[in-house]
């Protein structure tokens, strides 16, 4: 989900570029073949900006990073491309800010946090069915990773936007993320993990709406991790926000 101020016209998938990968060389990542549905909601974004929803089919992106580029053109009205990232780790609860490994800790966490009324911010409802039960334990158990195949916590290239570890359905959780330095565009999560352990990351995000300089937003529930090494220049005027609705998170994130 992206909030863009001063959007010139309606948008299509041709106004974005999508690539996937799992290393620190996004320039070499292949293009994502899946085509998302683009929905523009005029005036529905933070501060009356235009909210753009990007929806992929289920499983379109799984256990890897998605690079999203909002193109600077006559449609978006942006002066320069805006690039940001989402990482998907199936069954990860965010128990260790140093990695995105899925193991017995994630399975046991789902067992210990069983509930019949899981909110959209619940860290242990891996399949996002609003219930934390044995099904979520199975999600973690069947998606175990190790140092050889876990999702890498990438370093965002210079000039790119924030990278967010977005664990959402199907069989996904919420965990650590890579965040740019303080001078970079800020993603303002309206949805914050509830009752989360100190694990889900460094969780150092603002608590009030922030107008940033890049058109990025995430409906994926945002958790932050240690700052990346390269500063991100500020150039554009766009608001970053997370839509606090279960529908939005499910519709968009289930494809991730």
pLDDT of residue 8: 76
Taking the C-alpha atoms of residue 225 and residue 203, their distance in angstroms, rounded to an integer, is: 7
CB 155 within 8 A of CB 178: yes
Where residue 160 falls among pLDDT bands split at 50, 70, 90? low
Give residue-wise pLDDT tens across range 197-250. 433 333 333 344 433 344 444 444 444 444 444 444 434 434 333 333 333 333
Examine the pLDDT at 90 and tell me if it is beyond 50: yes
Report the residue count for the chain.
Answer: 256
Taking the C-alpha atoms of residue 245 and residue 227, their distance in angstroms, rounded to an integer, is: 28
Nearest to 203 by CA among 152, 164, 242, 230: 164
pLDDT of residue 9: 77
pLDDT of residue 159: 62
Give the mean pLDDT of 52-70: 93
Where residue 119 falls among pLDDT bands split at 50, 70, 90? very high
> What average pLDDT is seen over the chain?
73
Task: Provide the token pair at 161.
Answer: 């936007």
């Amino acid at each position: 989900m992206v909030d863009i101020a001063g959007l010139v016209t309606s948008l299509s998938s041709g106004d974005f570029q999508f690539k996937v990968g799992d290393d620190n060389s996004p320039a070499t990542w292949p293009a994502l073949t899946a085509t998302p549905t683009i929905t523009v909601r005029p005036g529905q974004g933070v501060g009356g900006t235009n909210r753009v929803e990007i929806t992929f089919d289920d499983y379109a992106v799984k256990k890897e990073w998605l690079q999203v580029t909002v193109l600077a053109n006559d449609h978006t009205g942006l002066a320069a491309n805006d690039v940001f990232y989402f990482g998907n780790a199936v069954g990860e609860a965010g128990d260790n800010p140093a990695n995105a490994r899925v193991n017995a800790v994630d399975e046991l966490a789902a067992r210990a946090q069983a509930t019949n009324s899981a909110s959209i911010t619940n860290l242990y409802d891996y399949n996002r069915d609003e219930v934390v039960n044995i099904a979520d334990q199975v999600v973690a158990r069947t998606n175990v990773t190790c140092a050889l195949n876990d999702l890498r916590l990438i370093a965002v290239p210079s000039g790119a936007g924030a990278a967010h570890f977005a664990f959402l359905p199907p069989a996904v959780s919420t965990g650590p993320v890579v965040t740019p330095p303080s001078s970079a565009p800020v993603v303002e999560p309206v949805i914050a993990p509830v009752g989360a352990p100190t694990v889900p990351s460094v969780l150092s995000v603002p608590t009030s709406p922030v107008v940033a300089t890049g058109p990025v937003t995430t409906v994926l529930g945002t958790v932050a991790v240690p700052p990346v090494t390269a500063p991100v220049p500020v150039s554009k005027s766009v608001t970053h926000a997370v839509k606090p609705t279960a529908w939005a998170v499910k519709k968009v994130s289930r494809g991730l």
